[in-house]
Amino acid sequence: MPSLSTELLVIGAGATGLGIAWDACLRGIKVVVVDQSNIAQGTSGRYHGLLHSGGRYAVTDPISAQECASENSILRRIIPHAIEDTGGLYLALRTDPADYAHEWQRACQEIGIDVEPQSLDQVLRREPALTKSISQAFQVNAASLDSFDLLNSLSHSIRKTGGQVLLHHRVNEFIIEDNTVVAAELVSELDQTTMQIGAEIFINAAGPWSDQVAALAGVKIPITHSKGTMIAMANRLTHTVIHRCRPPSSGDAIVPAGSVMIIGTTDIPVSSANDLPIKPSEIDFLLDQGEELIPGFSNRRPLRAWSGIRPLYNPLHDDMNSTRGISRSHVLINHAETDGISGLASIFGGKLTTFRLMAQRVADFVAQELQIDDQCCTDTVPIEPEEKEFIILSNRTTRLLPSENNARDSVICECENVRRSEIEAYIQSSDHFELDNLRCTTRLGMGPCQSAFCSVRATGIAFSSYETEDLLIDLTSFIDRRWRGTSLLAWGQSMRQIVFSRRLYLELLGIQQVSGDKS
Partner 1 sequence: MNQEFLPTDHCLKCNICTASCPVASVTDRFLGPKAVGPQAHRFQHPHYELPDVSEEWCSSCGTCTLVCPHDVPVAEMIAKMKERPNREASWRDRIISRPEMLGRLATRFASIVNPLINSSRVRAALERYFGISSKAPLPTIARTSLNKSLRDYYVKSPNRLEEISRLTVGYFHGCSTNFFEPMLGELAVVILESLGLYVFLPPQVCCGLPLQSNGLFDAARKLANKNIKLLTPFLREKIPIVGTSPSCMLAFKHDYRAILGIDTEESNLLANSTYDFFEFILQFVPEEVNRISYRKVVAHALYHPPCQLRGHGIGTPALTILRRIPGLQLEVSDFACCGVAGTYGVKSERYQVAYAVGEQLFQKALAMNVDFIISDSETCRWWISKHTKLPAYHPLEIMARSMGIIT
Partner 2 sequence: MTDILIIGAGLSGLFASILAAKRNADVTLVSAGHGGLSISHGCIDVWSKATSSLSLSRLKKNHPYRIAGKRALNIAMEAFEDIMHDASYPFSGSLSKQLFIPTAIGSLHCTAYAPISLAHSQMTKGTPIAIASIAGLRDCFPEMLVKNLRSNGYLVERSISLSLPGSEPYRDLYSTDLAYRFEDSAYRDQIAQLWKPRLSGIHCLGIPAILGIELFEIPTPPPSLPGLRLEQVLFSTAAHFGVNIILGSSAIGRIDRSRKLKRVSGITLQTPSNSRQLKAQKVILATGGFLHGGLIAHRDGSIQESVFNLPIDYPENRKALLAPSLFDKQPYEMHGVRVNSRMQPLDLKGEPVYENLFSAGGIIAGADRQSEGSRQGIDLATAQRAVEAALE
301 binding partner 1? (CB under 8 A): yes
Closest CA to 454 of 477, 437, 479, 433: 479
495 binding partner 2? (CB under 8 A): yes
Site string for partner 2, 298-327 (x = CB under 8 A): x-----------------------------
Neighbours of 421 (CB within 10 A): 15
Give the CA dihedral 208, 181, 154, 381, nearest 10 degrees: 120
Could you give the CA distance from residue 47 to residue 5 in angstroms, rounded to a whole number? 33
CA angle 263, 267, 273 (to 5 degrees): 105
- Among partner 2, partner 1, none, the one that 259 touches (CB under a kind-dependent 5 to 8 A) is partner 1
Closest CA to 171 of 156, 159, 158, 189: 189
- CA-to-CA dists, residue 363 to 29, 67, 355, angstroms: 10, 17, 12
Could you give the CA distance from residue 400 to residue 409 in angstroms, rounded to a whole number? 9
459 binding partner 2? (CB under 8 A): yes
Could you give the CA distance from residue 357 to residue 482 in angstroms, rounded to a whole number? 34
By CB under 8 A, which span of 129-137, 309-317, 338-346, 508-516 interacts with partner 2?
508-516
Which SS3 state, helix, strand or coil, does residue 407 take? coil
Q: How far is the CB of 54 from partner 2 (least distance, A)?
A: 35
Residues 351-370 that bind partner 2 (CB under 8 A): none
487 binding partner 2? (CB under 8 A): yes
- Torsions phi, psi of 456, nearest 5? -70, -40
Give the CA dihedral 13, 16, 17, 19, nearest 10 degrees: 110
**Are 17 and 11 spatial neighbours (Cβ–Cβ below 8 Å)?**
yes
Nearer to partner 2, 296 or 463 (CB): 463
DSSP-assigned states of every residue in 133-182: -EEEEEEE--EEE-HHHHHHHHHHHHHHTT-EEE-SEEEEEEEEETTEEE
135 binding partner 2? (CB under 8 A): no
- Among partner 1, partner 2, none, the one that 514 touches (CB under a kind-dependent 5 to 8 A) is partner 2
Nearer to partner 1, 370 or 411 (CB): 411
DSSP-assigned states of every residue in 119-137: -HHHHHHH-TTS-S-EEEE
- Among partner 1, partner 2, none, the one that 56 touches (CB under a kind-dependent 5 to 8 A) is none
Q: How far is the CB of 444 from partner 2 (least distance, A)?
A: 14
Neighbours of 439 (CB within 10 A): 25
Q: How far is the CB of 498 from partner 2 (least distance, A)?
A: 7
- Among partner 1, partner 2, none, the one that 29 touches (CB under a kind-dependent 5 to 8 A) is none
**Are 188 and 197 spatial neighbours (Cβ–Cβ below 8 Å)?**
no
Q: How far is the CB of 120 from partner 2 (least distance, A)?
A: 30
Q: How far is the CB of 434 from partner 2 (least distance, A)?
A: 17
2 binding partner 1? (CB under 8 A): no
- Torsions phi, psi of 354, nearest 5? -105, 20
**One residue of 103, 284, 319, 337 binding partner 2 per CB under 8 A:** 284
CB under 8 Å to 397, separation ≥6 — which residues?
A: 417
237 binding partner 1? (CB under 8 A): yes
Nearer to partner 2, 312 or 449 (CB): 449
Give the CA dihedral 104, 107, 112, 113, nearest 10 degrees: -20
467 binding partner 2? (CB under 8 A): no
299 binding partner 1? (CB under 8 A): yes
500 binding partner 1? (CB under 8 A): yes
Residues 53-82 that bind partner 1 (CB under 8 A): none
408 binding partner 2? (CB under 8 A): yes
Site string for partner 1, 421-460 (x = CB under 8 A): --------------------------xxx--xx-------
- Among partner 2, partner 1, none, the one that 93 touches (CB under a kind-dependent 5 to 8 A) is none
Q: How far is the CB of 309 from partner 2 (least distance, A)?
A: 20
133 binding partner 1? (CB under 8 A): no
Radius of gyration from C-alpha coordinates of the chain: 23
Put residue 244 in one of left, alpha, beta given phi > 0 → left and psi -120 to 50 → alpha: beta
Question: Across-strand partners of 88?
Answer: 140, 241
Instruction: Give kind and range of the element (H or E) at residue 101.
Output: helix 98-111
Nearer to partner 1, 31 or 444 (CB): 444
**One residue of 129, 276, 370, 473 binding partner 1 per CB under 8 A:** 129
- Among partner 1, partner 2, none, the one that 442 touches (CB under a kind-dependent 5 to 8 A) is none
Could you give the CA distance from residue 197 to residue 204 in angstroms, rounded to a whole number? 14
Q: How far is the CB of 378 from partner 2 (least distance, A)?
A: 42
By CB under 8 A, which span of 143-151, 255-263, 268-276, 480-488 interacts with partner 2?
480-488
Instruction: Give kind and range of the element (H or E) at residue 302.
Output: strand 302-313
Q: How far is the CB of 411 from partner 2 (least distance, A)?
A: 6
Contacts to partner 1 by CB under 8 A: 128-129, 234-237, 239, 259, 296, 299-301, 393-394, 396-401, 414-415, 417, 447-449, 452-453, 493, 496-497, 500
Contacts to partner 2 by CB under 8 A: 280, 284, 287, 298, 401-402, 407-408, 410-412, 453, 456-457, 459-460, 463-464, 468, 476, 479-480, 483-484, 487-488, 490-492, 495-496, 498-514, 517-519
